[in-house]
Chain A
Amino acid sequence: MKRRFQLKLGFPVVLLVVFCVSMAAVSTSRAAPLPLNRTLLILYDSKVSADPTATMAHRFLELPFNHKGYQFHFHDVRTGLPQLEQGEYAAILTWFRQPLEDSKSYFTWAINASERGYRFLIIGDIGLSNTLESFYLANEFVGHLGIKLMPRYHAGPLSADYEIIDKELTGFERPLPTLLPSFEHVTARDAATEVHLSARFNIGSDWYTSALYTSHPGGVFIQSGFAFYYDEYLNLSKWIIDPFALVDLLMDDAEFPIPDTTTLTGRRIFFSHVDGDGWNNVSLIDRFRDQGTIAAEIMLKELVEPFPDLPVTVGLVTGDLDPEIGGAKVAGKIARELYAKDQVELASHTHTHPFYWSFFKKYDRKREQGKIDENKRLKDDKAPERLVSRVIPVMKPQTGREHYSEFIAGGAGEMPRAYMRHPFDLNREIPQSLKLVESLAPEGRKAKIVLWSGDTSPFESAVKATRDAGVENLNGGDTRLDLMNPSLLYVSPISRTVGNQRQIYTAASNENTYTENWTGYHYAFANLKATVKNTGAPRRVKPYNLYYHMFAVERESTLKSLKSHLDDARYGEYIPITASHYAKIADAFFDVSLTPLGKFKWLVENHHELSTFRFDDADNITIDWGESQSVIGQTRANGSLYILVDPAKPTAVIALKPTRPKETPPPAPYLDNARWEISSVEPLRSCGLSFSAEGFGKGDMLWKGLAPGDYTIHATPVRGSIWEHHVSVADEGVLKLSIDAEAQHGATVSITCETGADTTE
């Protein structure tokens, strides 16, 4: 009897359990959200643009897309068309510059991609070849973007006028051209097509309207003559279309926490790095010249020692120390002094300083020998020195230089690298060069970054060599934004794609572009201030980067500029970090994963060193502290909201809510900004909070949301003296601090209540 009863009871229970587990599994699988796709597929034609770096998409569009949180994946159509997984890319972008050879295959593929839901951005040439079949297929494709190509083309500037002008989208850096460039006749195909810019033109008595900018659920189309304006006389360009609004148009105003590479702990990043060219050059400044002081020593005395609160990354050309190839050991003396400084980060600027990296992609020593012979001949002819000689020690002849002078560039020809005695060896250029740098530093200090030399266009295996060596890599980009480069078109994106590798660009140009490759106008590097200002507002698109060559200290005017730039960094509201730290943040941009958890709520993963996320036009939103996790602060600048997540936590949840006139106090104090990197923020049980900090100089910081009362600030650095201070927080709950302690190797800080303050609920 008992057994039958138990069976009767047991079976329904088992069923119930199985049912509940199944429902849980079903609900979990149904609710599992996917990470946002932030990658666009960029198609290009290598017949026109040899590699991604040469494409219009990289040069012009990658920066605005990066700024909005997107990254590019390049594909050469000449290698075939990619097999697309569903949802593999957020959108597809083309900016062809001439018809495609195999337009039929391309359009057939594009039709398929469109039918599978991919949105396209088409700028410039659609890729149409001059056959009717191509025209038909192209029309079938662009039909998915809600437009139709007509068999008409309008050339000549006069008999056309603008009809529809979307003022939100046009006139970004200059107005629409008065004389209209040539355009294809394109019409809107269906009711879902929105025409943002159009022109009316006539042929005889027949009038037509052509769409110049359109948007549609299938994508966006921009006729290239109306995207930007190029002036041939000045060789300068400016945007006509608003490229940021273009991103929003294509991506449907998608809103998510944008991974930001310009800001850390609520402040704009400052970093400085120096390429070691001219290390041993004797200065032209008479007070130094008369004593034979070399550039590296001037740098040490004038720019490093007086600024212990500002880190600087110094990249040595290790060949400068190698007498076997023409260097001199004496260069090592100053290197040791420099690398002994806490604020100096070790870096390699390669061993033999390649000027033209493409020469070494498929290296042929015989071809280089031909160049060496030419170099010898030119030197024998006593050709005048060129800029290239700046790389080479300009000093009294030492054994190395005299013996191997034919192997040292400087004979006025175009040599592939500076030191050519031994065959090129990537091992020597990267890992061995890094080791050599480390041998000049105190025990335990590591070289963390390679600064690319010459044309800063390394090939794929060179970049891979830095990754294999476990270091970052940096250089290239040459960002400027000033009167001589008057457009965001001259601001580089975060990185350059090199095969399957990634090269991180600098955030500003060095002095070469200001001084015509160091041949004149040496005062002009002072104008870096314009680029720093213009890339900081109205949009903060770049950190503040002070980048120069060692030889820059040869001239008084440039030395003066450098000091002024360093003063700006010291006294401005920046967070100074090393170049390798910046490179890590930049690299992390591409790894960040963002998963929507609900409306205005996202899970952030794989953020690594990138701990700042941004929302633009954010005056009406603020952090929802109750729903967020591992968010340690927020700050505002230029109408944007910067969210600070804890760098020590691998994930975070960012949740937003609308701002209200009377906000409820946050559950814990939060950071507004700091000059040190702040992490591991924990509330203290009694009252207050503790955190870890790392940084250079004094720890200026601003905390908000503290309960009014008295507090004790206690900072315990890993190295150096403990610092303690007593402060009072007024009713506003704001605490402004300047912690005078050594935090370069880390510090633990606590802010504890004394009396009257109680942050516990």
Chain B
Amino acid sequence: MTDKHTLSRTQWNVLLGLAGLIGIVAAYALIPSQTEKVEMLIADRQYSAAHRALKDMYDQGSRDPTLLANLVKTAKQFGDMDLYETALILLVEGRPKDPTLRDELLEFYKRMDRHAAYFALLEDSLKKIGKPTYFNDLVAYHRLAGRTDIEVEILHDHMNASNVSADNLRRLILLLAKSRRNAEALEAYRRFADQPVTETLSWDVKATVFKLMIIEGSPDTAMAQALGWLETSRDSSLLRAALFNMSDSLLTAGRADLMRNFAEASYRHLPVLSLSTGYALTQFGLGALALQQTQQLIASGYVLNSLEIGSYVSILINQNEIDAAANYLLAQAPESVLQEDWVALLENAIANDRWDISSAIAPNLTDVTLTYFPLIEAQLAYSRLDHDRAREILNAVDLQEQSSEVRRAWFYLSKDILSLPDLIARMQSAGPLSLFPQDVLIAYTKQVEPVDPQEFARVWRHMGGTQDLKASQSPNK
């Protein structure tokens, strides 16, 4: 008789069988796969064993992505770089849109000096994934190498991509303009204008675009743009360079009609900008405006540098203000009058009968200017190859009455014009040689020593204690 609560033999057998089956399946499920074995080895830091196991699987034909990913790690660890590269390439091919894998392979090629592979992968990565660094790196390496043609084509092809930097667009615009691809440059500018850019980056682009607009026949647009741009900045150093270039563009295009407005608007914005527009204004016959603006700037306390002095003096002469030009020049540095350029500025005025230097007395000239008159005249005569006249003037200068600076200026002019005996005689008759500046005495001894050692020795005695040079050693040996 069977108990309804107990299992039959058959039922037990089935149950046991099922339990056994479950056990087998469970046991099988607990056996780690090859991959899991490897992962356990890696977790255990048994990298050698892991690497061997992975290599075996790879050699047997497995290309499972997880295997490859682990192989990449272990191969790198062990310096098995051929296998590392092969596995990484397979991974990249399997996941072509994955930038992480590509970045790792790119780093490998870069760090291992694999030039061709690096550039090929960079180009391929740029085609397949539009990551900004691929573009920037590719363009940069071509730029560094000076492969400008390739650089321009890459920049141009990617001009409208969302991740192109303002810096790259700027360079594209300038390079296109340089190759006279003006329309493309203006098109690239439209893209550039949408970017948030620093002032430093933008002003040479703006000057270029301004020029291109003038060339391409859109002067009104150019002017409107320029005046709009002016309002966005008060950085005088950036604006000055840009405005100089823009003025030059108007000058080249002969657009006097636009120049006045441009100069007045820029002066209102920043008075110092008059220094950038002055040259173009004078060329257009608007020198009075240039002079007015510059003088107002000086009156406000601005100090001109040497380049700016030249521009100001040119404007003064252009406006027939010769006395003012000479006074201003000589007030800066008296010897400057001996610079051919400055003398040439004055000479032009003299040649055009706008300033009679021989009449000498002009109420608007300062005393300093007056003292240099003879030297200016001598320099002018010399530059006209009238050497006799130059010598006559220099010999007539009374050195005893002159300041140290005038003596210096006289010496440097005379050493090239007077004969050596005349030079010696004039300097000796001027009084103690120590009244001449030290640099003059050094130059003088160089002139004198080869001819007259006694004269040389006398000068050295004059200089005793002022120059730490060995008396036995001529500087002119």
Q: Which residues of A contact B (CB under 8 A)?
A: 83, 85-86, 108, 111-112, 115-116, 128, 130-136, 139-140, 150-153, 155-159, 174-179, 202-205, 229, 231, 233-234, 236, 238, 286-287, 289, 482-484, 486, 514, 521-524, 526-527, 530, 555-561
Contact = CB atoms under 8 A, between A and B. Distances in A.
B84 to A, nearest CB: 8
6 contacts: A85-B473, A86-B475, A131-B305, A203-B248, A204-B283, A234-B141
Contacts of A559: 79
B115 interface: yes
Contacts of B207: 156
Contacts of A116: 446, 475-476
A112 B45 CA distance: 73
Nearest to A137: B335
B111 to A, nearest CB: 4
A159 B469 contact: no
A133 B334 CA distance: 8
Given A132-B309, A136-B336, A179-B174, A234 B144 contact: yes
Interface in B234-274: 241, 244-245, 248, 251-252
Contacts of B174: 157-158, 179
A394 to B, nearest CB: 16
Contact of B333 (A133, A483, A484, A526): A133
Contacts of B136: 233
A111 B336 CA distance: 16
A33 B144 CA distance: 48
Interface in B109-136: 110-115, 118, 136
A527 B108 CA distance: 10
B306 interface: yes
A233 B79 contact: no
Contacts of B76: 522-523, 557
Interface of B: 45-48, 76-79, 81, 84, 107-108, 110-115, 118, 136, 140-141, 143-146, 148, 167, 171, 174-175, 177-178, 204, 207-208, 211, 241, 244-245, 248, 251-252, 279-280, 283, 305-307, 309-311, 329, 332-333, 335-336, 338-339, 341, 412, 439, 442-443, 446, 468-469, 473, 475-477
Nearest to B152: A178
Given A130-B306, A136-B335, A204-B251, A557 B77 contact: yes
Contacts of A204: 248, 251-252, 279-280, 283
A205 B412 CA distance: 36
A202 B144 contact: no
Contacts of A514: 111
Pick the 6 closest A-B CB pairs, nearest first. Answer: A557-B79, A560-B79, A151-B310, A130-B305, A204-B251, A133-B333
Consensus secondary structure, chain B interface: helix
Given A174-B146, A233-B140, A286-B48, A131 B118 contact: no
Contacts of B329: 132
A133 B336 CA distance: 7
B112 to A, nearest CB: 5
Nearest to A184: B307
Nearest to A560: B79
Given A132-B332, A483-B113, A559-B79, 15 more contacts: A111-B439, A112-B439, A136-B333, A139-B339, A151-B306, A151-B307, A157-B174, A158-B174, A158-B208, A158-B211, A204-B251, A484-B111, A514-B111, A523-B112, A527-B111
Contacts of A179: 171, 174-175, 178
Interface of A (DSSP majority class): mixed
B306 A134 contact: yes
A687 to B, nearest CB: 51
Contacts of B175: 178-179
Contacts of B84: 523
A558 B279 contact: no
Nearest to B279: A203
B144 A526 contact: no
A484 B469 CA distance: 51
Nearest to B313: A151
Contacts of A153: 307
A481 B45 CA distance: 36
A325 B115 CA distance: 48
B448 to A, nearest CB: 13
A578 B171 CA distance: 51
A524 B208 CA distance: 44
A286 B332 contact: no
Contacts of A484: 110-111
Given A136-B333, A156-B245, A231 B143 contact: yes
Nearest to B338: A136
A528 to B, nearest CB: 10
Nearest to B254: A205
Given A174-B146, A175-B146, A86 B111 contact: no
Contact of A229 (B47, B111, B144, B241): B144
**For B146, B241, B341, B442, which residue has the most chain A Cβ atoms within 10 angstroms?**
B146
Contact of A523 (B46, B81, B468, B476): B81
B358 to A, nearest CB: 26
Nearest to A149: B306
A86 B475 CA distance: 7
Contacts of A486: 144
Contacts of A133: 332-333, 335-336
A229 B311 CA distance: 32
A557 B140 contact: no
Nearest to B111: A524
Contacts of A131: 305-306, 332-333
A521 B468 CA distance: 60
Contacts of B47: 286, 556
B277 to A, nearest CB: 12
B334 to A, nearest CB: 9
A101 B147 CA distance: 40
A524 B167 contact: no
Contacts of A132: 306, 309, 329, 332-333, 336
Contact of A231 (B144, B279, B341): B144
**Most chain A beta carbons < 10 A, residue from B77, B118, B335, B469:** B77
Contacts of A130: 305-306
A527 B477 CA distance: 54
A152 B112 contact: no
Contacts of B107: 521
Nearest to A201: B248
Contacts of A229: 144, 146
B113 A482 contact: yes
Given A151-B341, A156-B245, A158-B208, A238 B144 contact: yes
A231 B151 CA distance: 14
Nearest to B437: A108
A131 B446 CA distance: 28
B178 A561 contact: no
Contacts of A202: 248, 252
Nearest to B115: A483
B46 A231 contact: no
A178 B148 contact: yes
A289 B45 CA distance: 10
Contacts of B412: 140
A187 B141 CA distance: 34
A111 to B, nearest CB: 7
Contacts of A112: 439, 442-443, 475
A527 B146 contact: no
B306 A135 contact: yes
A204 B246 CA distance: 10
Contacts of B45: 286, 289
A135 B280 CA distance: 24
A340 B107 CA distance: 41
Nearest to A86: B477
Contact of B473 (A86, A521, A561): A86
A178 B329 CA distance: 38
A151 B339 CA distance: 11
Contact of A159 (B248, B279, B442): B248
A150 B307 CA distance: 9
